[in-house]
Amino acid sequence: MTDFNKLKKIVLDNNSFLITSHVNPDADAIGSEVAFYHLLKKLGKQAFIINHSSTPYNLEFFNKGNIINKFDETVHKNIFSEVDVLVALDFNRANRIVSMEKLFRESNKTKICIDHHQDPEKFVDESFIDTNACATGQIIYEFIKSTNIVPLDYDIAYPIYAAIMTDTGSFRFNRTTSEVHIIISELLKLGINPEEVYDKIYDQSKFSKIKLLGKALESIQLKAENKLGYMVLTQKDFKEFGAVESDTENFVNYNLSIENVVMGILFIELNNGFKVSFRSKGNIPVNKLAAEFGGGGHTNASGARFFTNNLQEMIPVILAKAETYLNNIR
Ligand code: 5GP
Ligand code: MN
């Protein structure tokens, strides 16, 4: 059980907070940040949101009043030693904040982590982790409800709804419990419009993203007796359409929509290395598979980043390792 009273005490006893989340943030990352920001503001606290990555365009609508900042070392260096508390949301390893990792580690201020991933690194003073939660946004909801630290209003409910909607794959992944639906029911009572949230996040894509999806679908290959599907996107593909990394969110899931496929992989060539996303069905632990390459995540959704330029060499290596995870289900 997460010790929310301890978290409440940290929030009430301190005045200024730096909130951050992981590289290439999704709606759980940004939504959790914005919800926590509003919670702190309602208590009259100083709060800053700073991320390694800029906010993906489909999540910019969260950034009313420009409350979300992209990390700039010259501007933000001192803040790590000036605020009272550093708040890590929706990640559990310091390398997930890339350019901010060093300053985060070196800060002597109180550090806390609120998260739902497995296998945490010990990089903070206090962790509030619930690996059964479907989203970090769910943990923030439960913190507010169980402590009554602030009233739950529309400003907080909206980003929490978005966090849960996206991290549950629109209420279909296996951590979409009846409790989650009860939370959603409460959020809807506060005036959330589900059609509007979905439309903003998923149905306002740039044409370039849909064209890139076409490339990704075209690239799918099947392996391991059709149990494994994988896609490859190169920098050439991104340049062809003017697409960006965050456009690839959810592409990997298309592998799993093919009959018999129980594991999907997406390889993405980046400017400075490459990224691999893993997805699985059932109890195939792709978090363990990702961890073999320095990454992590959840049982059914994980990823790893490589800061080397040998993607083509690594594809067969990673596929071979992935196949070993399929052996016991054959
Ligand atoms: P995605 O493939 O959508 O980027 O990430 C899927 C899940 O894996 C997310 O929960 C994300 O936090 C986690 N994940 C993705 N990349 C990495 C990584 O490089 N390191 C770790 N530890 N987790 C990752
Ligand atoms: Mn999450």
Taking only the tens place, the pLDDT of each residue in 68-113 is: 999 999 999 999 999 999 999 999 999 999 999 999 999 999 999 9
Residue 251 pLDDT > 80: yes
Reply yes or no on whether the pLDDT at 330 is more than 60.
no
Interval 32-43 mean pLDDT: 98
| Averaged pLDDT, 18-26 | 98
- The answer on pLDDT for 129 being more than 70 is yes
Average pLDDT of the chain is 97
Minimal CA–CA distance to 216: which of 230, 205, 202, 226? 230
Give the Cα separation of 316 and 290 in Å (integer): 15
Confidence at 116, pLDDT banded by 50, 70, 90? very high
Is residue 227 predicted with pLDDT exceeding 60? yes
Q: What is the pLDDT of residue 91?
A: 98
Cα 91 to Cα 306: distance, rounded to the nearest angstrom: 18
Rounded distance between C-alpha atoms, residue 220 and residue 69, angstroms: 36
The predicted model scores a pTM of 0.94
* pLDDT the model gives residue 203: 97
Mean pLDDT for the stretch of residues 45-59 = 97
Q: Do 125 and 110 form a contact (C-beta atoms < 8 A)?
A: yes
- Ligand 2 centroid to Cα of residue 277, in Å, is 14
Dist. CA 24 → ligand 2 center (Å): 12
Say which DSSP state 258 is in.
S
**pLDDT tens, position by position, 132-167:** 999 999 999 999 999 999 999 999 999 999 999 999
Answer yes or no: is pLDDT of 266 > 70.
yes
| 33 has pLDDT over 90 | yes
Give the pLDDT score at 32. Answer: 99
**CA quadruple 81, 63, 138, 20: dihedral, nearest 10:** -20
Mean pLDDT of 118-140: 97
**What's the CA gap between 7 and 205, in Å, rounded?**
37
Atom 17 of ligand 1, residue of closest alpha carbon: 303
Q: Which residues surround ligand 2, an ion (CB under 5 A)?
A: 28, 90, 136, 167
Please choose from 96, 119, 246, 249 the residue to mutate so as to test ligand 1's pocket, defined by most ligand atoms within 8 A of CB: 96
| Residue 134 identity | C
Residues having CB within 6 Å of any atom of ligand 1: 22, 93, 96, 117, 277, 295-298, 301-305
Average pLDDT over residues 222-238: 98
Q: Say what the pLDDT of residue 327 is.
A: 85
Nearest CA to ligand 1 atom 15: 303
Q: Which residues contact 307 (CB under 8 A, 6 or more apart)?
A: 272, 273
Residue with CA at minimum distance from ligand 1 atom 22? 296
- Chain centre distance of CA 306: 18
CA of 302 to the centre of ligand 1 (A): 5
- 50 alpha-carbon distance from chain centroid: 15
What are the structural domains of the chain? 4-202 (3.90.1640.10), 207-324 (3.10.310.30)
Confidence of residue 329 (pLDDT cuts 50, 70, 90): low
pLDDT at 45 over 70: yes
Which ligand 1 atom is nearest residue 277's CA? 2
Q: Which tens digits make up the pLDDT trace of 175-208?
A: 999 999 999 999 999 999 999 999 999 999 999 9
